[in-house]
Amino acid sequence: MIIFSAEYLLRLWAAPLLYPDRSALKTRMKFAFSFYGFIDLLAIIPFYLPFLISLDLRFMRGLRLLRLVRLFKLNRHSSNIRMLGDIFREKRKDLVIVLSLVFIILIIAASLMFNIEKSAQPDMFPNIGAAFWWALATLTTIGYGDIVPVTNWGKFLSGLIAFLGIALVALPTGILSAAFTEKIEQAKRDKKAEKKEGYKYCPHCGEKLP
């Protein structure tokens, strides 16, 4: 905590060096409310709250787990993690389409299974919400086995949903892996161009840097 606190105070004190054209107060406030500054603050504030507030704050000890959010700062040191973030931003529309399709299939599967199994297993399928849990476990190919269809049509639907789950899991995997491979190849081409032509490319937008 001493190291974390000292680091936070030093970063706060040195914040004006990032923006010499602004006032010290504004730059320090900008750092304090920035993403990484907020992570640093969340990591240390649970330790100091019991000293500042004279209440029974034993339940606040769980907030010390917030120190783990400092792991998010590792992405500034890894180009591959930054690349993965760029891929998620570029492919977010494709991923949203896949997730929407999965949600629609979950709703349809839960509704069908409820109507098929409600007479045979009213305790296992009392409503569509309970059937939704079965659909989620089946579509994601986890299959806990706590809710199992017993009718023939229910078993058929369960097998169909399990098969669709395998195909749907492969969709986002293929989208991300193809984009990651494309990014790696682009990075290699940019490095070759930098050596040959003497200018650099932006790792995020791919444009030439001055």
**DSSP assignment letter at 146:** S
As a three-state string, the secondary structure of 105-128 is HHHHHHHHHHHHHCCCCCCCCCCH
Handedness of CA 32, 36, 41, 42 (dihedral sign): positive
How confident is the model at residue 7, as a pLDDT? Answer: 85
Same domain, 133 and 155: yes
Q: What is the pTM of this model?
A: 0.53
Same domain, 153 and 96: yes
**For residue 183, which of 116, 105, 87 has the smallest C-alpha distance?**
87
Query: What range defines the domain where residue 66 resides?
Result: 2-77
pLDDT at 75 over 70: no
Residue that is last in its domain, among 21, 52, 77: 77
**Which of 44-48, 63-67, 101-105, 165-169 comes out lowest in average pLDDT?**
63-67
- Number of domains the chain is built from: 2
Query: What average pLDDT does range 48-74 have in this prediction?
Result: 62
Give the whole-angstrom CA distance, residue 156 versus residue 154.
5
pLDDT, tens digit, 9 for 90 and up, residues 11-48: 889 888 877 788 888 888 888 888 778 877 877 777 77
**DSSP assignment letter at 205:** T
Same domain, 181 and 93: yes
Give the whole-angstrom CA distance, residue 180 versus residue 85.
10
How confident is the model at residue 28, as a pLDDT? Answer: 87
**CATH code assigned at 191:** 1.10.287.70
Does any domain span residue 84? no
